[in-house]
Chain A
Amino acid sequence: MLIVEYIIKGFLEALDLIHHPYILDIACRSLKVSGSATILSLFFSVPISILIGLYEFKGKMIIKNLINTFAGIPTVIWGLILYLMYVPNGGILGKFDLLYNVKGIILGQALLITPLISSIIIDAIEKTEKIFRKLCYTLGANEFQTIKTILKESLPWILLSGIIGFNRAISELGIALTIGGNVYVPGASDFNTRVLTTAIQMHTVRAEFSTAIALGIILLTIILIVNFITNYIKKSIET
């Protein structure tokens, strides 16, 4: 059979498969895992980034460079680092049962996207502060009111950083595969760790193209929607 025929056949079958409980189960897990990772990351990256963005201190440049460096670590390296941290005998987080567990993927993806989210928020805060601090001052705002205004003006960027972070988390493979292990036992939903990216990888190498394509369509649709929201927010920020 020609490759093209594979693709066309796979695509047609995929359209039927999209409603399949197996596919939906994996898609839901992906959304839950990466959504939780994003929220978890925002919990620590928002306050820290706001502090770094607002204040000048010694070593600020070093911290910003470090954040940018961390943002560039490949996910497979994250997988390795996390594995060594999670491994039950000897890992510093060994006793928390994170290996081959969605909780482990959530924490891993949260760490992965934290530098990305932080650098977006820090940039946004620094930019808005440069534009608005003097204005707030001259209009009579005290320090607290000024910071409140700067944060309010940066809010769309904070939202945006979360969405960009989510996009990165849901499309990464290295952590989900190394830490999650792509476990899937029908009915054992508490133990399953299979997400869209790991499932696509597995079905592809098993030559189960229609399933892989169905999963791929869902992942791309999610990313498309996320990009749509991103553009919408970006447009609302533009002046």
Chain B
Amino acid sequence: MIILKNICKKINNKKILDNISLTINKGKIFCIMGHSGAGKTTLLNIISLLDNPTAGEYIFNNQNPYSDIVKFRRKITMVFQEPILFNTSVFENVAYGLKVRNYDKEEIRERVEYILEKVGMLEYINKKAKYLSGGEKQRVSIARALVIEPEVLVLDEPTANLDYSNTLIIEKIIKDFKDKDRSIIIATHNLFQVRRLADEVAHLYYGRLIEVGKTDDIFNNPKHNLTKKFINGEMFF
């Protein structure tokens, strides 16, 4: 379980995140929705221990994750919006997280093949990653995170650059990964995606958390005016 208390992030004296308090439970898909520039990526980076808040408290399973950052990072894996792949084969890319955790060779091979099969990329296993299309790259970068079976999977706009069919493939992969012992956190500005995937939603607006709740409650009965506008598609940027 992740608890954020009054998390703030300032860059060059500009408030990017302002007093974010959140609880993210296991077994759920948690969506952070908000317009572009709302601070979603910044928040995900902080949750993934890739960036430090300038103020506030982060509690991970009742512990302080900054006490042993490498150990806690290994429980949280983030998939970036732009798929970044190593200049190696698909296999080497997906195997990376297992190799740095010193898994033995056979288990690595087994798990990589299993996960590539799941994302429909097994036939590309020996291909150079740079020759893949955008959708294929995104699937590989998601497979590379899933293969680790992290306790927390963090996805930053996982389908923002993809066409509809690739979007559905990736949403299915995400749903299949849902498990009672895991949290999945997704940042997106796509309302339809939120409805299709999320159990819980947080609405981020210019670095402030406007509203948090169950997806049905938020969509059927938004309390805040700005959330109402956002889900009615009346917010344009």
Contacts and interface: CB of A to CB of B under 8 A. Distances in A.
B80 interface: yes
Contacts of A137: 49-50, 73
A189 interface: no
A134 interface: yes
A141 B96 CA distance: 9
A141 B130 contact: no
A131 B100 contact: no
A132 B148 contact: no
Given A138-B48, A142-B100, A145-B100, A239 B87 contact: yes
Interface residues of A, number: 19
Interface residues of B, number: 23
A131 to B, nearest CB: 6
Contacts of B76: 138
Contacts of A136: 100
Contacts of A142: 70, 100
A139 B50 contact: no
A134 B145 CA distance: 13
A149 B100 CA distance: 10
A139 B101 CA distance: 9
A139 B143 CA distance: 12
Given A139-B144, A140-B148, A153-B87, A134 B50 contact: yes
B97 A140 contact: yes
Contacts of B80: 134-135
B100 A138 contact: no
A138 B144 CA distance: 11
A143 B69 CA distance: 11
Interface in A74-121: none
A67 B196 CA distance: 55
Nearest to A156: B87
A146 B45 CA distance: 18
- Select the residue from B48, B74, B87 with max chain A CB neighbours within 10 A: B87
Interface of B: 45, 48-50, 70, 73-74, 76-78, 80, 84-87, 96-97, 100-101, 130, 144-145, 148
Given A139-B97, A239-B87, A239-B130, 8 more contacts: A135-B80, A137-B73, A138-B145, A139-B96, A142-B70, A149-B96, A156-B87, A237-B87
- The 7 residue pairs across chains A and B that have the minimum distance between CB atoms: A139-B97, A140-B74, A141-B100, A138-B78, A239-B130, A145-B100, A142-B70
